[in-house]
Structure 1
Amino acid sequence: GHPLLEKVNDAITAMKKDGTMAAIHKKWFGVDPEAGTSTVAPGPIPQ
């Protein structure tokens, strides 16, 4: 994999946990993301 993959995934996971991703979603789409979706729920890196 790419040498930055783990760092980027960790940053995205942190953004999901602290609500940043949900805030970005609401700003751009005008609604809160659905709970449990990949926008707000951390998960494994797709292969």
Structure 2
Amino acid sequence: MTNTQAPRQADDGKHGGAPSDKPWTPDPQPAPSPDGTRPQKYFPQS
């Protein structure tokens, strides 16, 4: 009786499993990368 009790429901990644099990999850790293102009604007305002 492992974590994969369901046949495909748990494997869907919608329920709750390993982070790598959800390929549809948005990566937080690639977001700030292209938004390099955003963090720069915050610096002078600080």
Q: Sort the TM-score into its range (normalised by shorter chain).
A: 0.3 to 0.5
In proportion to residue count, which structure has more helix?
1
TM-score by length of 1: 0.37
TM-score by length of 2: 0.38
Which has the higher relative contact order, 1 or 2, with Cα contacts under 8 A spaced 6 or more apart?
A: 1
Task: Point out the structure with max Rg over C-alpha.
Answer: 2
